């Protein structure tokens, strides 16, 4: 299935179909998951993402190119990355039809951008692509860690070879890796709350696009030309 295919507005608001969400999760885990030792808690696992919160926050950046591009501009402006590091990514995310083709908005709830992805996770678990383990049952430390299994990595790499459009999402994940706060779900959430449009969105409403503002900022920083 092409990840660029047009989907009805309601489906787009839900992040596309469960299969599209599942593919995005596999990409995130493949690129941004922390490597795990062979002797780790889950046999056959190759990477781990700690907590559903981190999965959700990474998915927000993956599917909202305008917000991710703005974060890269912040990294550049504050001197943590070079122009060469971000220029290609920012141009790719803001150019032509890319923002509309690849944007899958999310709704805002109590703890920021949220998407019900349990169906996609259940499918991946059923087919032996991922596993999860509860770290604690209660209290502030309670969470589930999600593990990419060897079979999941084989699947997503095979899909990448067969579906050229999937390269976009790999590039997005690689761009996310340039943001230090992406390493923690809590830090990513705090970072996303620094966006005024994000934090001002009423609970249950769609977090709006910031495309035009980001384009203006990218031009002002000479990251892209004013004809983009």
Q: Is 147 domain-assigned? A: yes
Residue length of the chain: 228
pLDDT at 138: 59
Residue 10 has pLDDT above 60, yes or no: no
pLDDT at 87: 98
Q: In this structure, are residues 70 and 126 in contact, taking their beta carbons and an 8 Å threshold?
A: no
Domain of residue 169 covers: 9-220
What are the distances in angstroms from CA 149 to CA 21, 108, 136, 177, 204?
17, 31, 21, 21, 34
In tens, the pLDDT along 178-217 reads 999 999 999 999 999 999 999 899 888 888 999 999 999 9
Q: Is 177 domain-assigned? A: yes
- Residue written as token pair 């923690």: 184
> How far is CA 191 from its chain centroid?
14
Query: pTM value?
Result: 0.87
Q: Is 225 domain-assigned? A: no
pLDDT at 125: 96
pLDDT at 49: 96
In tens, the pLDDT along 21-77 reads 999 999 999 999 999 987 788 999 999 999 999 999 999 999 999 999 999 999 999
Number of domains in the chain: 1
pLDDT at 95: 87
H/E element holding 131?
strand 130-136
Q: Is 33 domain-assigned? A: yes
What does the mean pLDDT of the chain come to? 87
Q: Is 201 domain-assigned? A: yes
Q: Is 2 domain-assigned? A: no
Lowest mean pLDDT among 66-75, 80-89, 139-148: 139-148
CA-to-CA distance for 55 and 44, rounded, in angstroms?
20
Q: Is 4 domain-assigned? A: no
pLDDT at 41: 87
Higher pLDDT, 175 or 207: 175
Residue 145 has pLDDT above 60, yes or no: yes
Rounded (5°) CA angle 133-155-103: 85
Q: Is 37 domain-assigned? A: yes
């Amino acid at each position: 299935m092409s990840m660029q295919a047009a989907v009805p507005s309601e489906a787009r608001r839900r992040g596309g179909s469960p299969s599209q969400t599942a593919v995005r999760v596999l990409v995130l885990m493949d690129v941004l998951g922390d490597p795990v030792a062979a002797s780790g808690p889950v046999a056959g696992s190759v990477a781990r993402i700690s907590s559903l919160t981190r999965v959700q926050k990474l998915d927000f950046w993956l599917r909202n190119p305008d917000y991710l591009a703005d974060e890269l501009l912040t990294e550049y402006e504050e001197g943590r990355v070079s122009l060469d590091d971000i220029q290609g990514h920012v141009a790719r995310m803001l150019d032509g039809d890319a923002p509309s083709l690849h944007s899958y908005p999310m709704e805002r709830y109590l703890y920021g951008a949220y998407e019900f992805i349990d169906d996609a996770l259940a499918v991946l678990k059923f087919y032996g692509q991922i596993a999860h383990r509860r770290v604690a049952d209660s209290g502030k430390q309670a969470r589930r860690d999600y593990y990419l299994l060897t079979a999941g990595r084989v699947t997503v790499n095979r899909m990448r070879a067969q579906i050229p459009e999937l390269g976009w999402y790999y590039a997005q994940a690689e761009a996310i890796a340039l943001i230090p706060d992406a390493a923690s779900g809590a830090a990513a959430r705090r970072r996303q709350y620094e966006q005024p449009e994000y934090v001002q969105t009423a609970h249950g409403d769609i977090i709006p696009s910031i495309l035009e503002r980001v384009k203006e900022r990218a031009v002002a920083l000479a990251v892209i030309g004013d004809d983009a």
